[in-house]
Structure 1
Amino acid sequence: MLFLLSLSSWPVLATLPAAAPAAVAEVRIVDTWPAADVGDLPRNQSFYVRLSYRSDTPVGIWLRPMYRGQPARAGSNPSARYIGEGEALGWFFLMQQGDQVDEIRVVVGDGSGLGRGDFVAASLPVNLTGGSMPAEATPPEWVTRLKAEAEAAAAEARRQAAQRPMSATETGLTIGIIVLGLLVCVGSVLLPIWGLWRWRGPWRLAAAAPAAMMSLVMLNIVVDVIRDPTSHNLWPFEVAMWGAGSVAVMLVLFLLRWMVGAGRQRRA
C-alpha cells in the first residue's frame, strides 16, 4: 500500500540563514514507493519519494537517508534546480544487504551544506533494510512519469551546458590539460627509449623497466581491442595514467644521474 503523508503540521516552510541569499522554499512528501514501513527493500531496487515543492528561487532538492542520526550507507539522487510549483522525484539505494535506514531527510538549498545554503525541509521515519530478494512489483505511474521528466530535464541541462561558450580561463585550462596529456604520453615512450639508447650498465637496466611497462600497456590495449572493440573506450586516459608513472620514473633516474655525475663521467 502506497504511503501518503501530509507534512502540514511539520516545519516545512523554512528560510535560509542570513548569510545566504534570502529564499523561501516549501517541500512536502506526498508518497513513497515501496511503502515507508516495507521492512526489507528488494535487492537492486531504489526507494522512491514523490515530492511536492514551491520555491521563489531555483533550489536543489536531495534525499538524505539516515540511520540512528547518522548518514546511512546509501547512494542518493542528484538534483536539478527547481523554481515555482511542481513535483520532483527523490530516490536512494542501499549499498549492501543488511544496510538500514530509519529516517529520510529532504534537504533543500544550493548544495553548499547544512547551516550554510541548505536546510532540512521535511523528514519521514521509515523502516528499511537491504534485502536479498529481487524486485518483483511494478512501480506506480508517478515513479515512471517523474523519472522521465527528470531524465528530460538532465538532458536539457547538458544540452544548454554544451552550447554555453567557454570563458577564456576555461579554454586555457582545457588546452593546458590536453597539451599536458599529450606531453605525458609522448614522454612516456621517448624518455625510456632515450635511456636505453644513451645509457650504459645499471642505468640502461633501470630505463628498461618503464619501457617494458609501457610496452605491456600498449600491447594489452591492442589485444583487448582486437577481441572486443569496446573494451578500452577510454584508452587515452589509460595511456596517460601509466605514462605519468613512466615519466616520473625517468625523471627520478635523470635526477639521480645528475647527482652522481654519471653523464659527466661517461663523457670524460
Structure 2
Amino acid sequence: MYSIQEIYLVLSKLPHDFGQLDSGLNGRSAVSLFLFEYSDVYTDIIAYNKGIELLEYELNSIEEVKNVSLYNGLTGIAWTINYLSSKNLIEINHDDFLPALLEDQLKNYFFTHNQLISLEHFTFNENIFFYFINRLITTNNDSLRKKYIVFINQGLILFIHYFYQINDLKIKFEMKVLTNFIKTLNLLSDQLKSPLLHLLLTNVLELAVNIENIKHIKEHSHFIKASVFLNNQKFQNKLKKYKFQNKTYRNNFDNTFQMGIWQEGLSYQGLKKIMYKKKLQDKFLEYFIK
C-alpha cells in the first residue's frame, strides 16, 4: 500500500511533453484533479502550479480532442473544470466558462442519432448525460438550470427510445456500462421526479437482472437503490437472491502508464486516499472513486 506522498512523487514528475498523456479522466484531467486536491490538503503550491500547467495544456489542446467521453475526451475535461470550480479549487466561474466552451458541442453530439448505433455510442451519451446532471446540481444560474432540465428531459426520452430498440439491434450490453447508467439515473432521482425517469429505470433494471453475470456485479447498492426508488418489490426480491462480490482494490502503482481513473490508476488511488483523509463526500466524485 502506497502513501499519498509516494503517489504524488510519481504524478508530479510527469514528462514535460504533456502530449504524451491522454486527455480527460484517463490522463491529464485526472492527474490535474489529483494535484489540486493534494494541494488543497497539504497547501502545496508546487502541486497547485503543476495542476494549472496540466489544465492549461488540456484547454489549449482542446481542438485536437476528437473523443467526447469522460475518460478520454471532452466530457471528462468539462467535468473536471466543473468539479474544480464548484469546489473553489480553481479561479474559474464554471457558469461563465463551460457553456461557451463545450456544452453546445456536447449537446450536438448527444442528439446526432435517434437510432442507437453501438455500445460506444450509448456509453458516450451516458457520459454526457452524467455531466449535465452534475451541471444541473452545481450551477448557480437559474437560467442555465432551466436549460439543463429541458436537456435532461429530452435525454430521458432519447434513452427510452434507445431501450425500445435494443432487442431489434441485438446490442450486447456490458454490465459495467449498465451499472454506470444506473448510477447516473440514481443521481438524477435525487433531484428530479419524473415519470420518464421511472420508466427508463424500469427498462434498465429489467435488462440488467436478465443478464447472466449480474451475480458478479461489484456495486450492487446502486441496483438496490434503483429498485427502492421504483418501489418495485419484484426487483428487490430478485436482487436479494444474489451473493454479490466485494470490489477488490487493484494496485497499479508500478505501471506508470496507468495514470487515470477508469483503470484505477495512480490518480484514482491518490484521490481515493485524499477522499478518506478529507472525509470528502461528493456523490459525483464517488461515481468514479468507489
TM-score, normalised to structure 2, is: 0.22
* Greater fraction of residues in helix: 2
> Considering only CA atoms, is the larger Rg found in Structure 1 or Structure 2?
1
> Of the two structures, which has the highest relative contact order with CA contacts closer than 8 Å and spacing of 6 or more?
2
* Greater fraction of residues in strand: 1
